[in-house]
Amino acid sequence: MGCRGVTATTRSVKGSIEVLGRPDGRPSQGDAVVHALPDPILVIDAADRIRYVNTAAEQFFALGRDALNQLSIQVLTAPDSPVVDLIGRVRLTGLSISDHDLELTSPRDETRRVDVHVGLLHEARGDVLVCLRKRTFADIISRQLTSRDSVRSVTAMAAVLAHEVRNPLAGIRGAAQLLERENQGDDRSLARLIRDEVDRICSLVENMEVFADERPIQIEPVNIHEVLNHVRRLVEAGSSETPLQFDERYDPSLPPVLGNRDQLVQALLNLINNSVEAFGSGGGEIILTTAYRHGMRATVPGSKSWLKLPLEVAIRDNGPGIPDEVRANLFDAFVTGKRGGTGLGLALVAKIVKDHGGVIEFESRPRRTEFRVRLPVAG
Ligand X SMILES: Nc1ncnc2c1ncn2[C@@H]1O[C@H](COP(=O)(O)OP(=O)(O)O)[C@@H](O)[C@H]1O
Point out which residues bind ligand X (CB under 6 A).
270, 274-275, 278, 317, 319, 321-323, 326, 330, 335-338, 341-343, 345-347, 369
The answer to whether residue 343 forms part of the interface with Mg ion (CB under 5 A) is: no
Closest-by-Cβ residue to Mg ion is 345
Nearer to ligand X, 310 or 343 (CB): 343
Establish if 274 lies at the interface with Mg ion (CB under 5 A). yes
Distance CA 98, CA 31 (A): 23
Nearer to Mg ion (CB atom), residue 84 or residue 272:
272
Provide φ and ψ at 136, rounded to 5°.
Answer: -85, 165
- For ligand X, the closer of residues 12 and 342 by Cβ is 342
357 interacts with Mg ion by CB under 5 A = no
Taking CB under 5 A as the binding criterion, the range among 31-39, 94-102, 155-163, 337-345 that sits at the site for Mg ion is 337-345
The listed partner (ligand X, Mg ion, none) that binds 323, CB under 5 to 8 Å by sort, is ligand X
* Residue 239 contact, options Mg ion, ligand X, none, Cβ 5-8 Å cut-off depending on partner type: none
What is the C-alpha separation between 322 and 33, in angstroms, rounded?
22
Q: How far apart are alpha carbons 303 and 116 in whole angstroms? A: 19
Closest separation in Å from C-beta 273 to ligand X: 7
Q: Which stretch binds Mg ion (CB under 5 A): 5-13, 46-54, 215-223, 344-352?
A: 344-352
Which of the listed partners (Mg ion, ligand X, none) does 338 bind, with a CB threshold of 5 to 8 Å by partner kind? ligand X
Q: Which is nearer to Mg ion, 260 or 275 (CB)?
A: 275
Shortest Å, Cβ 364 to ligand X: 7
Is the CB of 4 or the CB of 365 nearer to ligand X? 365
DSSP assignment of 201-216 equals HHHHHHHHHHHH--SP
Residue 345 sits in the site that holds Mg ion (CB under 5 A): yes
Residue 309: which residues within 8 A CB-CB, separation 6 or more? Answer: 296, 297, 298, 357, 358, 359, 374, 375, 376
Stretch that binds Mg ion, among 10-18, 85-93, 186-194, 343-351 (CB under 5 A): 343-351
d(CA 288, CA 242): 18
Q: Which residues neighbour 349 within 8 Å (Cβ) at sequence distance 6 or greater?
A: 267, 270, 271, 331, 360, 371
Task: Report the partner that residue 278 touches, choosing among ligand X, Mg ion, none (CB closer than 5 to 8 A by kind).
Answer: ligand X
Which residue, 76 or 162, is less far from ligand X as judged by CB? 162
Of 78 and 328, which CB lies nearer to ligand X in the complex structure? 328
Least gap, CB of 138 to ligand X (angstroms): 12
> Which of residues 349 and 359 has its CB atom nearest to ligand X in the complex?
349
Question: Smallest gap, in angstroms, from Cβ of residue 26 to ligand X?
Answer: 35
List the alpha helices (DSSP H) in 43-119: 55-61, 65-68, 73-77, 82-93
Beta 284-292 vs 127-134: how paired, if at all?
A: unpaired
Cα–Cα distances (Å) from 94 to 52, 90, 121, 141, 196, in that order, read 21, 5, 10, 34, 59
- DSSP E strands, the chain: 4-9, 41-44, 50-53, 96-105, 111-122, 127-134, 220-222, 244-249, 257-259, 284-292, 297-299, 306-308, 311-317, 359-365, 368-375
Closest separation in Å from C-beta 231 to ligand X = 14
CB of 59 to Mg ion, least distance (A): 24
Decide whether 148 or 338 has the Cβ nearer to ligand X. 338
Please give the biggest Cα pair distance in the chain.
Answer: 80
| Least distance in angstroms from the C-beta of 258 to ligand X | 25
Smallest Cα–Cα separation from 94: which of 67, 119, 76?
Answer: 119
CB of 339 to Mg ion, least distance (A): 13
- Closest approach, Cβ 104 to Mg ion, in A, equals 30
The secondary structure of 131-183 as a DSSP string is EEEEPPHHHHHHHHHHS-HHHHHHHHHHHHHHHHHHHHHHHHHHHHHHHHHH-
Q: Which residues bind Mg ion (CB under 5 A)?
A: 274, 345
